[in-house]
Amino acid sequence: MLRPKAPIRRFDVFAEYTKWRQLLDGVPEDIAKGYAIWLAKVVAAKKFGRLPKDSWERKEPRELKREIKRGEVPKWRKLSGIPQTDKTFDKEIIQRMGEEFYYKVFSPAIEQAVKQGKKYEEIRDSIRKDWVPEG
């Protein structure tokens, strides 16, 4: 049984869930990853009261997608001045848990849940309960 290199957090599940929602909406993978890591950080920071006022762009995902397609906004959203890109997602999500676990276990499980129409709140804990890190 494949196991992750690090504990799987709600943050990881939320970012991947968001990425798959974007992909199924037709957003290119690089943009979906950047948006997903950005949104996960914004939500986490807001929850814990660590988000400085005006440190993130306040736009709805559909509005951003339309503006990106028209070339009206930058490809990457920033958080405290730092672009949140697909490479950020890869480093902070995929590499953290391990590529093999991510591609063979984690991502397919989240993809399936999204395609089944499950809400994030339905899966955030149950989907990760058996994913115990190595050693």
- The reported pLDDT for the residue numbered 76 is 81
CB-based contacts of 53-60 (< 8 A; 24+ apart in sequence): 55/79, 55/80, 56/80
Using one digit for the tens of pLDDT, what is the confidence trace for 51-95? 555 444 555 556 666 666 666 656 788 888 889 999 999 999 999
CA-to-CA separations, 15 to 48, 57, 70, 96, 109, in angstroms, rounded: 17, 17, 25, 13, 13
With contact defined as beta carbons under 8 Å apart, do 76 and 68 qualify?
no
Using one digit for the tens of pLDDT, what is the confidence trace for 3-36? 999 999 999 999 999 999 999 988 899 999 999 9
Instruction: Please name which of 3, 24, 7 lies closest in space to residue 118, comparing C-alpha atoms.
Output: 24
- The reported pLDDT for the residue numbered 91 is 98
Weakest mean pLDDT among 42-56, 82-96, 102-116, 121-135 = 42-56
User: For 56, what's the count of Cα atoms within 13 Å in the CB-facing half-sphere?
Assistant: 19
With contact defined as beta carbons under 8 Å apart, do 79 and 42 qualify?
yes
Query: Length of the chain, please?
Result: 135
Cα(95)–Cα(90) distance, integer angstroms: 6
